[in-house]
């Protein structure tokens, strides 16, 4: 059975909407404030969803264009996977090695160039090390990395499969 290129992009869009809906549910209903690393994970997920939506609507005939869309979608989700991995690493640092809390992301973006903001965020802060919510004993970044890994596999399959 041949799976439609458009169907896979639709699934990526749906997965992105579900992932963002869950993140917004936790933020606005459960009142969990996202740390800078959580926000950066969202950026990658949104980018993947937007690219997949464009690919879904465009529905290119060219295999090269289909692969370019799949590559761009995979870059977003790979970004999210990398950020989640960093987040997990920070959460598992011994308490005496956790970086101290720094200024908020909004302040950093207003005051510093983006290069410095990225460096500060990926260094991590104490707020990124806190585990406020778990499901089946797994923290949100641990669950997120599994979700992102599945989306990465789907993007790679879309990119390398015989079209």
Asked whether residue 112 carries a pLDDT value surpassing 60, the answer given is yes
Partners of 134 in the β-ladder: 139
CATH number of the domain where residue 67 is located? 1.20.1550.10
Average pLDDT, the chain: 89
Section 61-81 average pLDDT:
96
Better-predicted residue by pLDDT, 18 or 109: 18
- The pLDDT, as a whole number, for residue 160 is 93
Asked whether residue 1 carries a pLDDT value surpassing 60, the answer given is yes
Domain count of the fold of the chain: 1
- The pLDDT, as a whole number, for residue 122 is 64
Section 29-41 average pLDDT:
89
Range of the domain at 145: 5-160
CA distance 157 to 71: 10
């Amino acid at each position: 059975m041949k799976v439609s290129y458009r169907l896979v992009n639709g699934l990526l869009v749906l997965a992105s909407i579900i992932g963002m809906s869950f993140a917004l549910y936790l933020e606005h209903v459960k009142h969990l404030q996202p740390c800078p690393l959580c926000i950066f994970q969202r950026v990658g997920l949104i980018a993947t969803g937007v690219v997949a939506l464009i690919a879904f609507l465009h529905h290119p005939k060219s295999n090269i264009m289909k692969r370019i869309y799949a590559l761009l979608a995979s870059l977003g989700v790979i970004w999210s996977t990398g950020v989640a991995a960093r987040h997990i690493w920070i959460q598992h640092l011994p308490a005496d090695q956790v970086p101290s809390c720094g200024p908020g992301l909004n302040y950093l973006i207003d005051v510093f160039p983006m290069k410095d903001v990225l460096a500060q965020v990926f260094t991590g802060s104490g707020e990124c090390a806190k585990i406020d919510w778990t499901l089946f004993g797994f923290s949100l970044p641990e669950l997120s990395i599994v979700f992102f890994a599945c989306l990465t596999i789907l993007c790679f399959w879309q990119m390398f499969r015989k079209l």
